[in-house]
Amino acid sequence: MAAGQGVRAGGGVPKQWREIAGKTVAAWSVAAFDAHPAIDLILMMVRADSDPSLWPAEGQTRLVTGPGGDTRGETVLNGLHLLAPEGVERVLIHDVARPGLSREVIDRVLGALDSAPGAAPALPVTDALWRGDDTVEGTQSRDGLWRAQTPQGFDLKAILAAHETFDGTPADDVEVARAAGLEVAIVRGDEANLKITGPEDFARAERILKGDQMDIRVGNGFDVHRFGPGDHVWLCGVQVPHDRGLQGHSDADVGLHTVTDAIYGALAEGDIGTHFPPSDPQWKGAESHIFLSHAVDLAARRGFAISNADLTLMCERPKIGPVAAQMRARLADLLRIDVGRVSVKATTTERLGFTGREEGIAAMATVTLVAT
């Protein structure tokens, strides 16, 4: 049901068309059903004067719309009449203003319908209950009391007949089913499946939905530089004395290059050569911290923070152990994270391959990014 006015929620438009955590409330609700393999059709009931450009149509493979009524009961009855000729046997009736619906709740409702004509999710009342206006005039036992949620599931023929004979304005479809003598099983609901009613509910729902869509990226980097003339190498921004130097268009810091490529990889943004082409003479001899800082800045602009970095250097010499702490500190500084989130370690290849023959140094890195 998406035909309500939603005036209590504020915002100037019905609450179902307001954005929350990157999508409209309606889009979140529709997406929950669209992602479930047991759902064959999604019928969204809307007001005749609603703006079709706000409907969550893009990417929804089983969504159609129908005309809502002036009340919730009328809207449901309209929808049931549309579904009855289509051979539908079971129907889930959901309030569009519950964007935090999970697959598990849908599963539990559908499972209960295997043995009952109706089923609905709910949460047990755990708080003490009082009666009164400005002062407490009495208490109410919470035993056997539940907080109702949706989707509420039914045998379609049974709930259609119940709605057609119901007299009044029902709070939900369980009330209609009960009035017709239908048994309704209770299944476990979900605190995240809250109903947005007032303005304060948007902030709570946004926290829930952002948690559900946490964006974590992992990128890998690999790089190799050969040895040539020189008396030192640059590794992770630290100058390390050695009887040869590393060759490259820039300062050939294989450690920083590898971590930089791992960040670009997590962002799906190519590699160092994409952003700093070796054919461009301005980068000849450039200090590699420029590249890494660019990658870190790019991640921040895309809304990501660097969570940790793990770098392995592969070489016989120079020995990394004595300078590993300096490398970690420099990397942490460039990545703008705590040194406890940076790992720098080294290994040999047991004298095998080009690193074993001391022809160069190879490095591999893994970096994790988390959306902020």
Domain for residue 1, yes or no? no
- 164-223 pLDDT, tens digit per residue, is 999 999 999 999 999 999 999 999 999 999 999 988 899 899 888 877 567 899 999 999
pLDDT at 319 over 60: yes
CB neighbours of 212 closer than 8 A, spacing ≥ 6?
100, 192
Report the SS3 class of residue 325.
helix
Q: Are 195 and 98 in contact (CB under 8 A)?
A: yes
Residues 226 and 164 in one domain: no
Where does 179-296 show beta strands of DSSP type E? 184-188, 216-228, 232-235, 238-241, 245-246
pLDDT at 11 over 70: no
Cα 68 to the center of its chain, rounded Å: 31
Sign of CA dihedral 320, 322, 323, 324: positive
Residues 306 and 198 in one domain: no
Residues 262 and 117 in one domain: no
Residue where one domain finishes, among candidates 165, 194, 212: 212
The two tokens of residue 347 are 């290994």
Residue where one domain finishes, among candidates 170, 189, 212: 212
- 44-99 pLDDT, tens digit per residue, is 999 988 888 888 764 556 788 999 999 999 999 999 999 999 999 999 999 999 99
C-alpha 62/C-alpha 79 separation (Å) is 15
Domain for residue 323, yes or no? yes
Strand order in the sheet with 245-246: 245-246, 216-228, 360-371, 304-314, 342-347
**The pLDDT value given to residue 215:** 82
C-alpha 174/C-alpha 183 separation (Å) is 9
Q: Which residue has the tokens 């393999």?
A: 37
**Rounded alpha-carbon distances, angstroms, from residue 164 to 19, 76, 179, 256, 319:** 35, 11, 12, 71, 83
pTM equals: 0.61
Mean pLDDT throughout 19-30? 91
Residues 221 and 348 in one domain: yes
Mean pLDDT throughout 234-259? 96
Residue where one domain finishes, among candidates 191, 212, 233: 212
- 275-286 pLDDT, tens digit per residue, is 999 899 999 999
- Greater confidence (121 vs 211) lies with 121
Domain for residue 104, yes or no? yes
Number of domains the chain contains: 2
